[in-house]
Structure 1
Amino acid sequence: MNGLRLSRLTLAIGLSVATTSALAGPQNFQSARSFAMGGTGVAVAHPASAGFANPAMLASDQHEWADDFGLIIPSVNARFADEEETIDQIDDIQDTIDRAQAALDSLNAPAASATANELRQQLQDLNNDTVRVDAGLGLALAFPMDAISVGVHTAGNIQATVRGEYDSADDAELAKVAALDPTADLNNLQSRARVLAASVAEVGISLAHAYQLNNGQSLQIGVTPKYMQLMTYQYTESVSGFDDSDYDNSEFETDKSGFNLDLGAAMSFGENGEWNAGVAIKNLIPMELDSAVSSDLSKQETQHTLEVDPRVTVGLAHSDEFHVITAELDLTEQKGFGYADDTQWLAVGAEFDAWRYAQIRGGIRHNLASNDDNNGIEEDTQFTAGIGLNPFGARLDIAALYSEADLGAAIEFGAAF
C-alpha cells in the first residue's frame, strides 16, 4: 500500500471541510469580544456585533465613543478538539502499514507477524475516536441612530468531525499478512475514516429602536430578517481505498436555503441605567436538512439530520465606565449534528476597560446539556480570556478558549466611533 494514502486522506479531510462552504456552522457565530467573555452578548453586545447576538442591542446605550458607527472586517474564530490524538493515531497507522508492506515484500516473517499484530491493535484503538474542528467568519456594519438603528451582517460557522471506525473483517487480511500469505493485500483493509460536517451561513439586516418608558427606563426592540443556507457533508472511505480525486464530489453534499428571523429585546434600568437585561430569539423558523447517504453499503453510512431550531437566550449585565459583568442562559437546548454534543450554555463574562483604549476580558461557560453518550467529543466547561485595543477608533480584539477537550482562538479587526 502506498504510504501516502493516509496522509492524503488527512489532507482531503481538511480540504473537504474547506470546500463545504465559503461561509460556514451549527452554533451561532460569536464576535471576538463575545468569544473572550464566555460566549455572552445578549445583554452586552456592541452595535456592530448586535446582529450576531441580539438585534435590540443596536439601539442600546453605548459609550459615547462607540455609539455612532460600528464595523467588523472581519472576525474569525476557530476551535480544535482531539481528545484521543486521532490525527497522531492516523500518522502512526500510516507508518505501520508502510512497515507491514516492507515485511511482505522482503518475506520477513517475524516483522510481518509483529507489524500485523501492531496494525490490528492500532486500528482497534482508532475505533470511534473523533477529532472536531469548528471555524467561524463574520463581517458587520452598524449605524446606531435615534430614529431607527440599522445593521448589516454576514456570518457563519462550520463544524466538522473526523471519526475512525474499525472493521473486524480486517482481522482475516491481517492474519494473511502475519503468515506471509501470497494473497495478502493491504489494499483490502476495510477500516475506514468518516468525515461529517455541517454548516450554516446567513446574511441579515437588523433594525432596532429604543422606546423611552414613563418610568424613565429605556426599552429596545430589534428584528433581523435574514437569508440562510444550510449544508451537510458526509464522506466515508477505507484507509486502503481512498482516491484523492473523490473527496470533493457533490454526491457527498446536501444543501438547503431559506428565509428566517431573529427577534430581540433589551431594557436598561437602575438609577443611572447601569443594569441591562436582554432576551434574544434566534432562528424563529425551524429548519432541517438530511445528510447524503452513500449507496455503497460497505461504507455503512447512516443519515444524519442538521436541525436549526429556535434558540432563546436571556442575559443580565451590570456596567459602568470601567467594567461590564454579565451572565447569560440558553433557555432552549440545541441538538448536535452527527457526533457533536447537544448544547445549552450557562455563561458569565466580564470586561475591564482602561479609559476606552484597552480592555481585559474573561469568561466561563458550562454546557447544561452535555452528556457522555453523544458518540463524539463532549462539550463541557470552557474558560475564555482576551484583550481589546482601541487606538483612535480602530479596534483589535484577540481571544482564547480552553477546556479539557478544546483549544480555541479568535481575532477581530474593526472600528467604532
Structure 2
Amino acid sequence: MKKQQLAVALSLAFASAPSIALDGSDARSIAMGGTGVASANHLTAAFYNPAQMTKFDQSDDFGLLLPALNVSLHGTKDIYTDVEHFIDADKQLGKDFTTGFDATEAQRENWIDALKKLDDAAVEANLGLGFAITVPNNTLSVNLFSKTATATKLSLHIDESDLDITNKRDGDTMASTANLRAGMVTEVGLAMARNVTLPYLDEKISLGISPKIQKVVSYNLYDRIVELGSDEFKLPSDYNETTVFNTDIGVSYRPYESLTVGLSGVNLISQQVASPNINGHVSTFMVEPEFTVAAAYDNGWFMAALDVDLNESKQFDNTQGTQYARLGMELDAFNWAQLRVGYSAGMTEKSTNQVTAGFGLSPFGSLALDLAAKYGSETDMGVALEFSLNI
C-alpha cells in the first residue's frame, strides 16, 4: 500500500465539501455556544427562531448580513497521529503486502498494529454560508434570507483479512474500505414575524414563520482504500438532488422586559435524499425537524442565553444523532464592542462538548465585524466570521 493512500483519503473529506448540522449559523451565535432561539436579533432570527425578528430598536429600519461564514472539523481521537503512524509503518515494511515479505517480525507487527488503530476512524467537515436582508417594523417584520450548509464525513473500515499479511498471495488486494458521504442544503426563504396580543390576558407574544425553498444534494464515494492511492483514481461525478418546500416556525414571549423565552421548530418537513449507487453502496442524506426551547436574559450590557435541543438530529443514515444544551454570555460595551463566551454540552454519545469564544466590533452601532471560534479537542474545532450592517 502506497504511503499516500490514507493521506489522500483524509484530504477527500475536505476537498469534496461544496454543516453536523452546525452549532449556530452566524459568528455571534457560535461564540455564544450556539444559542439563538431566544437571543438572536432581527438580522439573524431567520436562522434560529423567526419570532425573534420582533426584537429590534425603534431606530432600526434596515439590516444586511453579508455574509456569515463558518467552518468546523471533527475527527476521531488521535486520527491524524494514527494515520501518520500507519504511513511510517507501511514505509518501513518496504514491500507491498501482495508480493511477499522480507520484513522482520517486528516490522510486520508494527504495521498490523497501526492498521488496527484506523478501524472505524472518521473525519467530518462542515461548512456554512448565510445571507440576510431584514426590514423590521411594528406591523410585520420581514427577513429575506439564504443559507447553505454542507456536511462531509469520511469513514475508514479495516477488513480483518488485511491483518493476516503472512497468508496474502501475490495479486491479492486490500479489502479495507473508505466511505465518503457528503450532503448539502441550500435554502432561500422569507421569514415573517409580528407581535400578537393574547385575548383576555393582555399579554403580547411574538409569532414567526419562515416558508422556504430547499435544494438538497446527496453524494457518496465507497471504494477500497487501496484504490484511493491509485494514479487512475477519480472522484465520482454523479450525485442526486431534489428541490422541496419546507418551513420553520417560532414563538417568543417576554414575561419581563429583560427576559425572553422561546420555542422554535426548524425544517418541519422531513427530507431524505439517497445518493447514487457506488460499488453497491448507497448513502442517504437527511434533513430532519429540530425543536429547541430557550431562555435569555438581557439588560442592555449583559446577556445570558440557554438553548436546549428537544430531539436528536442526524445528517446521514446509519449514524448516531446529536443533541446539545447550549449556554452563552455576551458583554456589550456601549454597542461598540462585544465580548462573548459559551459552552455546548453534548447530550448524546455522538455529541462532543465544546467551549466557544468570540468578539464583535460595531463602531457607531451600525457596521459590525464578528469573529468566533469553538474548541472541543485538537481534532474538534471551528471558526466563524460575519459582516453586517444595521441602520
Give the alignment's TM-score, normalised by structure 2. Answer: 0.88
Counterpart in the other structure of 1:119: 111
Q: Evaluate the alpha carbon distance shift between residue 194 and residue 103 of structure 1 in structure 2; reply closer, same or farther with a 3 A threshold.
A: closer
Equivalences for 1:148-187 in 2 at 5 Å? Answer: 148-172=140-164, 174-175=165-166, 184=170
Secondary structure at the residue paired with 2:235? coil
Counterpart in the other structure of 2:356: 384
| Worse-matched range after superposition: 163-172 or 315-324 | 163-172
How much has 1:262 moved relative to structure 2? 0.9
Structure 1 unmatched ranges of 5 or more: 178-182, 372-377
How much has 1:151 moved relative to structure 2? 0.9
Q: Evaluate the alpha carbon distance shift between residue 132 and residue 244 of structure 1 in structure 2; reply closer, same or farther with a 3 A threshold.
A: farther
Q: Percent same amino acid among aligned pairs?
A: 27
Equivalences for 1:17-416 in 2 at 5 Å? Answer: 18=17, 21=18, 26-27=21-22, 29-60=24-55, 62-63=56-57, 67-101=60-94, 109=102, 111=103, 113-172=105-164, 174-175=165-166, 184=170, 188-211=173-196, 217-242=203-228, 243=230, 246-251=233-238, 253-270=239-256, 273-296=257-280, 301=281, 303-338=282-317, 340-368=319-347, 370-371=348-349, 378-392=350-364, 393-404=366-377, 406-416=380-390
Question: CA–CA distance in 2 between the matches of 1:6 and 1:125?
Answer: 13
1:368-408 CA distance string (max 9 Å, x none): 2x03xxxxxx3133222211110132111111212256222
2:381 partner letter: L
Q: Evaluate the alpha carbon distance shift between residue 247 and residue 255 of structure 1 in structure 2; reply closer, same or farther with a 3 A threshold.
A: farther
Question: CA–CA distance in 2 between the matches of 1:268 and 1:30?
Answer: 24
Question: CA–CA distance in 2 between the matches of 1:3 and 1:344?
Answer: 37
Structure 2 unmatched ranges of 5 or more: none
Give the alignment's TM-score, normalised by structure 1. Answer: 0.83
The answer (yes or no) to whether the contact 2:128–2:149 under 8 Å persists in 1 is yes
Are 2:5 and 1:12 aligned? no
1:29-88 CA distance string (max 9 Å, x none): 52111111111111111111111011111122x3456x3222221111222222332233
Question: CA–CA distance in 1 between the matches of 2:343 and 2:106?
Answer: 48
The answer (yes or no) to whether the contact 1:81–1:407 under 8 Å persists in 2 is yes
Superposition RMSD in Å: 2.9
The answer (yes or no) to whether the contact 1:33–1:399 under 8 Å persists in 2 is yes
The answer (yes or no) to whether the contact 1:26–1:199 under 8 Å persists in 2 is no
Secondary structure at the residue paired with 1:84? coil
1:57 partner letter: Q
The answer (yes or no) to whether the contact 1:123–1:191 under 8 Å persists in 2 is no
| Worse-matched range after superposition: 93-102 or 378-387 | 93-102
The answer (yes or no) to whether the contact 1:79–1:135 under 8 Å persists in 2 is yes
The answer (yes or no) to whether the contact 1:196–1:338 under 8 Å persists in 2 is no
| Worse-matched range after superposition: 285-294 or 123-132 | 285-294
Number of residue pairs aligned between Structure 1 and Structure 2: 387
Q: Evaluate the alpha carbon distance shift between residue 322 and residue 336 of structure 1 in structure 2; reply closer, same or farther with a 3 A threshold.
A: same
Question: CA–CA distance in 2 between the matches of 1:321 and 1:167?
Answer: 58
Larger helix proportion, structure 1 or 2?
1
The answer (yes or no) to whether the contact 2:178–2:222 under 8 Å persists in 1 is yes
Q: Evaluate the alpha carbon distance shift between residue 2 and residue 260 of structure 1 in structure 2; reply closer, same or farther with a 3 A threshold.
A: same
